[in-house]
Structures are given as C-alpha cells and as structure tokens.
Amino acid sequence: MEVFEVIQPGPLTTVQDLGRFGYQQFGVPTSGALDNYAFRIGNILVGNDENSASLEITLFGCRLRALQDTKVAITGADMAAIVNGEPAPAWESLAVKSGDVLAFPRLKGGCRAYLAVSGGIDVTLVMKSASTYTKAGIGGLGGRPLRPGDIVKAKAGAISKAGAHLPARYIPAYENQITLRVVPGPQDDCFTREGIHTLFNSEYIVSAQADRMGYRLEGPPVKHREGADIISDGIPLGAVQVPGDGLPIILLADRQTTGGYTKIATVISVDITRIAQAKPGDRAKFQRVTSGQAVALLRKYEQRIEMIKASLCA
Amino acid sequence: MIYKQPRFLCGGDHAIFVELGDSIDPEVNQCVRNLKLALEKAEVPGIVESVPTYRSLLIYFAPLQLSAARLRQTVCHLLQSTAVAELPRLRLTEIPTVYGGEFGPDLELVAKHNNLSAAEVVQIHASARYLIYMLGFMPGFPYLGGMSPKIATPRKTTPRLKIPAGSVGIAGNQTGIYPAESPGGWQIIGRTPLELFHPAQEPPSILKAGDYLSFVSITAEEFASIKESVRNGTYSLNERLID
C-alpha cells in the first residue's frame, strides 16, 4: 500500500527498525533507530509492533505527501511538524488524509524525529531487518536515504484507538547540555589517572562530525598511558573510543563492528537516546556509574515503556 | 600466548569481552572460535550475538534476561569443557584468483619491491594457507594471517579512489580481499570472481572467522566462467575440512 510520496527528504531520512542482529560477526553493523525510546513510542502510538519500520528524519526539511488515509505518529526531535501548514501534534496518533502534506520545517529541539505509520513501513527485509545501512547499501529503500519522488509503502495496520497520546510526563525534553552516564571499560586501564579525571571533569562539545556511525567530541584530550592502539576487538553500542588525539568518539548504531583504538568507557543503554538527540554544538559531560546501576536504570526504563503500552492499549 | 584465566572486560551494561590471550596468534584465535561455537551450541537464553576478533569474543546480551555475572560463569564453564572437548575441524575455502594484468595492476610493483618475478609472487601468495582471524572494517572483509614476509609491500602513498569488488591486495605484511568496491591503498595483485559478501544470502558471508582460505591461480577465461556461474547461483564453493 503506497502511503507517502517524498517531496523533499531533508538532509537524511532513512527507514529503520530496531536493528539487524546476528551479523556483526560478518562485519555488518546493527544499524537501527538511534533513539530507541522515540522510535518504540511512535510504533506503540499507532498500534504497531515495536519493531515495525518507521522513518528516521534528521534535522529538518523533510516533506511528504500522503497517498492514502492513514494514521501516523511523530515522535523524537521537535521539528515544528505541520500538516497542510497547520501545526501537527507530536507524541500522539494522528489521522492524515490522502493528499495531505506533512512537513518538518524547523528544528526546535533534538536532532532526529521518527514518523511511525500504521502497519509499519513495508520494505524487503535484508538479514532479517528493515534498517538502512547506507555505507554498504543494505536494507531500507534500496539501501540508501530517501530521495525526492520516492514512494514509501506500508503494511496494513491494526485497528487501534484513534487519538492515543503520550502523557506529557513521558515526553523527553531535549537539552543542549547533556550528561551521559558511562560504565568504565573495556580499556580504561590504558589511560592515565589524569586522563580518566579529564574525561569525568570536562565539558565536551559535539563536533560537526556527528552522524549515525558516531559522535566526535571536542574538548580537553584524554591522556593514554602508552598509546591508543590495541589489538582490534569488537565495539559495543555506546563505546567511548579515544584515538591518539585524545578526543572521545561515541560510537552508535552504524559503527564498524571492530576497531583498533582504545575504548575508555561505554554509554549506558538508557542514555544512548540522549546522545542520539544531540547535535553539533551541544555540550556533553560524562558521569561514571556501575553496570549494576545501569541495569537497574534499564529495568525502570523498560517498565515505563510497558506501562505506557498498557495505558495506551487499554 | 593463551591466558591461564580468561580476562573479562566490561562493554557497558549489555556486552562483555572475553579476552583469551595477549597476542595475534593462531592458537589464541582458535580458542576464540571454539568459545563462540560452544556458546552457540549451548543456546544460552539472553545472548543476542557474539563477535569474534583476534584474541577476544565480544558477547552482546540482554541484561534483563541474563546477568553479566551469570554469563561470566557460563563462559568459564564452557572454556573448561571446550579445553578438553574434541576441537571441531577447520574449514578451508579456496578463493580462485586471477593474478596480474588488469585484475592485479600492482603485481609487477610487488615483485620489483621484493626482487622477485611476478610468477614467484603468485607462487608464494597462492601456496600459503591463510587464517581468517576476523571479519570487520566492512561487511565480509577478512583480516588474514599467514602471508609470507617475502612478498610484503607497503601501501600506496596515494590510495586509489575505486578498487573493484573481489580485489586481492597486499598492505605491509597483510593480505586481504575487498568484498565490495571501495577506495583503498592496498597493492592490488589479483581479483576473485567470487562474491565474498551477498546481503540476500544466508549466511551473507562465504568466509567465517576462525576458518582458513587459500588462493588458487586461475586464468581470465576461468574468471569469466566462474563469474557467470556465481551470477546464476550455480557456483559451488571449493571447501574442505583440514586438520
């Protein structure tokens, strides 16, 4: 079922689901929505399975024409979304009619918005996932970002209550100044005590080199004991890699599966959404937590999503 | 050297590294491979996937289903049992390769750099057995060990913008194969008609970490006919088990 025609995609709009798992052993990154929370809530609001494919829209400028009456939900970054020029509410399910123009003209907060569509976007799964990995041309719509004139298809959606909206207390505020909680390791022992002190007591600025692969930060360099090179090993989601120049890079969904630079710490699962919504110029600080604390926070996060799901589907 | 006790490194709240040795060493890498196989066989609920590299296995897990402590215990247990269990045999995959000419524009350069003839470079390159230490860098790209230092050649000072998929190259004392078209600085000595990586196949990569490969010299005519059968889906890989 054809649901949207792309008038303008903006700088980067891709099809994503929760990611491609099981193929990192072959060098294939997981990809998937960078902001797990906004992505899942979008699907919940339109009555989809949480892993249904949606559009991930970056910064601003995306414009779509509806080709069907359907139901959508806009979540994530606030891009002052409008339907036919009128403000469109975010974080709730929204009926759109065939011919409506849905636009994301201006960035007011965050970096990535999600457009969930009733039924989920219909693309051929590649390695069991709809996620686009543009660098290798895998998944999504022909392995590439959307282009003007593209037709986006959706599967038939479940019938669900119209007008579901997320209570305001569950809507995240996207700040220009974020704190990222991290668990030290795997190679924190490759840094001097002073280097580790620097990481936890400095403010870093998100550089212009910030994309789905990783966020390069600028600020005081973190000192290694002997060097930045290690025998290449795997790279977990959220790894804070520190190459020879001492400037941290936070590695995200499109990261290479392996690498040969030291990793001082790993951003905890629930804080990936914070860095995913940060944009060049934003400020970030690091705070140390234990992996036990990180798991407790993740448990609370999952309970919150379960609660939201239960209340919206009731 | 293999550690007496595995080192567990923390990969945040959802991953652990099991480091099994202190160097790039075939024996250490075989331990990584065996641990991965043992973990897959054990079908531990809560393990998402694992990524084998030179000397460690990165295990991704769902922390609300499986705790890191529990996972470490399971790994220790498996390591003790795999140490005594019969090692699975190794797989060797043959990579048919045309050397030189338009397929390997740097073959002469590699020969000259090492005071050898082109034929000698081919003979040396095609007679070794290479361990696939890991896949990474790009989908299906093998990090190989076992190249003779006699044909080692530094990278190009100016990388090429476009290296065709299947190109076989040398960079320093490493050899490798480009699974997809890419820019790169390796000295290109040949090309294989095989598709190392195909997203629609399951598994998508014909190579697997911990296995071996060898290069077999073929002619340009053979290249064309193998390429054709790869395209038709009628090509069958030359694989065998070795000790």
**Whether A63 and A194 share a structural domain:** no
The mean pLDDT of B121-144, rounded to a whole number, is 96
**C-beta atoms of A237 and B136 within 8 A:** no
CB atoms < 10 A from the CB of B41, how many?
11
Whether A164 and A312 have beta carbons less than 8 Å apart is answered as: yes
Report whether pLDDT(A284) > 90.
Answer: yes
Residue A273: which domain range? 177-299
Domain boundary residue among A125, A142, A170?
A170
The mean pLDDT of A299-309, rounded to a whole number, is 97
Q: List alpha helices for A157-204, DSSP H.
A: 193-200
The pLDDT value given to residue B87: 66
Whether B44 and B75 have beta carbons less than 8 Å apart is answered as: no
The pLDDT value given to residue B242: 87
Tens digits of residue pLDDT in A13-23: 999 999 999 99
Tens digits of residue pLDDT in A69-108: 999 999 999 999 999 999 999 999 999 999 999 999 999 9
**With an 8 Å Cβ cutoff, is A257 touching chain B?**
yes
Report whether pLDDT(A312) > 90.
Answer: no
**Mean pLDDT computed over every residue of chain A:** 96
A 65-84 residues with CB < 8 A to B: none
**With an 8 Å Cβ cutoff, is A250 touching chain B?**
no
**Whether A79 and A140 share a structural domain:** yes
The pLDDT value given to residue A224: 97
Residue of A nearest to B47 (CA): A22
Q: Is residue A312 part of a domain?
A: no
d(CA B64, CA B14): 9
Of B12, B67, B135, the CB nearest to A266: B12
Report whether pLDDT(B57) > 60.
Answer: yes
CATH number where A290 lies: 2.40.100.10
Domain boundary residue among A152, A170, A188?
A170
Tens digits of residue pLDDT in A187-244: 999 999 999 999 999 999 999 999 999 999 999 999 999 999 999 999 999 999 999 9
Q: Is residue A253 part of a domain?
A: yes
The C-alpha of A185 sits at a distance from chain B's nearest C-alpha, in angstroms, of 5
d(CA B13, CA A299): 11
Q: Is residue A309 part of a domain?
A: no
**Whether A166 and A185 share a structural domain:** no
Domain boundary residue among A170, A193, A221?
A170
The pLDDT value given to residue A163: 73
**Whether A161 and A20 share a structural domain:** yes
**Whether A107 and A242 share a structural domain:** no
The mean pLDDT of A296-308, rounded to a whole number, is 97
The pLDDT value given to residue B179: 95
Backbone CA torsion sign across A86, A91, A92, A94: positive
Residue A313's pLDDT band, with cuts at 50, 70 and 90, is confident
The pLDDT value given to residue A4: 98
By the 10 Å C-beta count (0-12 exposed, 13-18 middle, 19+ buried), B44 is classed as: middle
Please give the C-alpha separations between residue B117 and each of B96, B122, B190, B209, in angstroms, as whole numbers: 21, 9, 15, 32
The mean pLDDT of B223-243, rounded to a whole number, is 93
Residue B85's pLDDT band, with cuts at 50, 70 and 90, is low
Residue B155's pLDDT band, with cuts at 50, 70 and 90, is very high
3-class DSSP state of A119: coil
Tens digits of residue pLDDT in B171-186: 999 999 999 998 889 9
Report whether pLDDT(A2) > 60.
Answer: yes
**Whether A101 and A193 share a structural domain:** no
Which of A27-31, A219-223, A224-228, A287-291 shows the lowest per-residue confidence on average (mean pLDDT)? A224-228
**C-beta atoms of A237 and B14 within 8 A:** yes
Number of domains in chain A: 2
**Whether A70 and A198 share a structural domain:** no
d(CA A119, CA A126): 19
**Whether A162 and A187 share a structural domain:** no
Question: Residue A185: its chain B contacts at CB < 8 A?
Answer: 9-12
Q: Is residue A304 part of a domain?
A: no
Residue to substitute from A189, A213, A258, interface B, most B β-carbons within 10 A? A258
Domains of chain B by start residue, with CATH: 2-84 (3.30.1360.40), 90-242 (2.40.100.10)
Please give the C-alpha separations between residue B214 and each of A62, B40, B127, B177, B234, in angstroms, as whole numbers: 49, 27, 7, 12, 21
Residue A161's pLDDT band, with cuts at 50, 70 and 90, is low
Please give the C-alpha separations between residue A271 and each of A47, A239, B18, B239, in angstroms, as whole numbers: 25, 12, 25, 45
**Whether A181 and A165 share a structural domain:** no
Q: Is residue A106 part of a domain?
A: yes
**C-beta atoms of B139 and A28 within 8 A:** yes
Residue of A nearest to B137 (CA): A256
3-class DSSP state of A64: strand
Decide if the complex's ipTM is over 0.90. Answer: yes
Report whether pLDDT(B83) > 70.
Answer: no
Whether B189 and B125 have beta carbons less than 8 Å apart is answered as: yes
Q: Is residue A281 part of a domain?
A: yes
Of B10, B24, B208, the CB nearest to A185: B10
Report whether pLDDT(A261) > 60.
Answer: yes
Which of A85-94, A115-124, A158-167, B190-199 shows the lowest per-residue confidence on average (mean pLDDT)? A158-167
Q: Comparing A160 with A32, which gets the higher pLDDT?
A: A32
**Mean pLDDT computed over every residue of chain B:** 94
**Whether A185 and A216 share a structural domain:** yes
**With an 8 Å Cβ cutoff, is A125 touching chain B?**
no
Of A231, A239, A256, the CB nearest to B55: A231
**Whether A136 and A200 share a structural domain:** no
**C-beta atoms of B58 and A267 within 8 A:** no
**Amino acid residing at B55:** R
Tens digits of residue pLDDT in B3-31: 999 999 999 999 999 999 999 999 999 99
Report whether pLDDT(B84) > 90.
Answer: no
Question: Residue B199: its chain A contacts at CB < 8 A?
Answer: 126-127, 136, 138-139
The pTM assigned to this predicted structure is: 0.95
The C-alpha of A178 sits at a distance from chain B's nearest C-alpha, in angstroms, of 19
**With an 8 Å Cβ cutoff, is A266 touching chain B?**
yes
**C-beta atoms of A28 and B13 within 8 A:** no
A 17-56 residues with CB < 8 A to B: 21-28
3-class DSSP state of A122: coil
Whether A210 and A247 have beta carbons less than 8 Å apart is answered as: no
